[in-house]
């Protein structure tokens, strides 16, 4: 009986395997998603904010070299960001770095273009402010020179007025002394 049971068991096992639910195929392991461009820009900004002046200058130089070697718009914007945050930002270099990003066709990602436009606006405004400051400083210097010149003229006129006043007082005293002197030819004025 055991022998007769074995083929039935074998047939039932095979039939059961055919009816058993199949296991789903394993899901492919996804590589970690690359951070979005905006996140990369914010991470770069946060890293640069944490730097001191020397580190930021070194980072700006390194980023500028990397941007000049390639055409990656992200590298150009990152270099422009580092340059614009430096203690003495070079607005001409910032504008030179972002201009190709803004003029590129096909256009760069919208986040990169937005940051490039923002950096271009900041550099342009800073340049206008520097020009205004230079103009105001030159006008202030000219105004100080004019005020100094007017003060010197006023002092010279005051000295002249003081000299004229002394001469007038001397002439008045001379006139009084002449008026009180006895005259030989005037009988009414002769001393009695």
Tens-of-pLDDT digits for all 192 residues of the chain?
Answer: 555 555 665 566 666 655 545 666 666 666 555 568 888 888 888 888 888 888 888 888 888 887 778 778 888 888 888 888 887 888 888 898 888 888 877 787 888 889 999 999 999 999 999 999 999 999 999 999 999 999 999 999 999 999 999 999 988 988 888 877 766 666 665 555
Give a yes or no: residue 81 inside a domain.
yes
Residues in the chain: 192
- Indicate whether 160 belongs to any domain: no
Assigned domain for 51 exists: yes
Q: Is residue 111 part of a domain?
A: yes
Give residue 68's pLDDT: 79
Name the domain count of the chain.
1
Q: What is the pLDDT of residue 162?
A: 93
pLDDT of res. 53: 83
Q: Tell me whether residue 80 is exposed, middle or buried, using C-beta atoms within 10 angstroms of its C-beta: 0 to 12, 13 to 18, 19 or more.
A: buried
User: What pLDDT, on a 0 to 100 scale, did the predictor assign at position 135?
Assistant: 94
Domain that holds residue 53: 37-135
Residue 184 lies in a domain: no
pLDDT of amino acid 8: 60
C-alpha distance across the termini of the chain, in Å: 189
Tell me, yes or no, whether 192 lies in a domain: no
State pTM to two decimals. 0.58
Give 92-98's long-range contacts (Cβ < 8 A, gap of 24+): 93/64, 94/119, 94/120, 94/122, 94/123, 95/120, 95/123, 95/124, 97/64, 97/67, 98/123
Of 69, 163, 76, 74, give the one whose Cα is nearest residue 110.
74
- Asked if the structure places residue 44 within a domain, the reply is yes
Task: Answer yes or no: is 191 within a domain.
Answer: no
């Amino acid at each position: 009986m055991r022998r007769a049971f074995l083929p039935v068991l074998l047939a039932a096992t095979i039939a059961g395997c055919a009816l058993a639910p199949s296991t789903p195929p394993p899901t492919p392991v996804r590589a970690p998603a690359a951070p979005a461009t905006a996140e990369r820009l914010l991470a770069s900004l946060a890293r640069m904010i944490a730097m001191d002046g020397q580190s930021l200058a070194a980072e700006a130089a390194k980023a500028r070299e990397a941007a000049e070697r390639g055409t990656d718009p992200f590298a150009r914007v990152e270099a422009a960001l580092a340059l614009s945050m430096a203690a003495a930002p070079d607005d001409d270099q910032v504008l030179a770095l972002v201009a190709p990003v803004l003029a590129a066709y096909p256009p760069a990602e919208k986040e990169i273009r937005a940051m490039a436009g923002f950096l271009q606006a900041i550099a342009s405004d800073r340049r206008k402010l520097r020009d205004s400051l230079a103009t105001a400083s030159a006008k202030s210097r000219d105004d100080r020179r004019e005020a100094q010149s007017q003060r010197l003229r006023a002092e010279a006129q005051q000295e002249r007025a003081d000299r004229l006043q002394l001469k007038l007082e001397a002439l008045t005293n001379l006139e009084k002394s002449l008026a009180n002197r006895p005259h030989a030819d005037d009988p009414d004025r002769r001393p009695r």
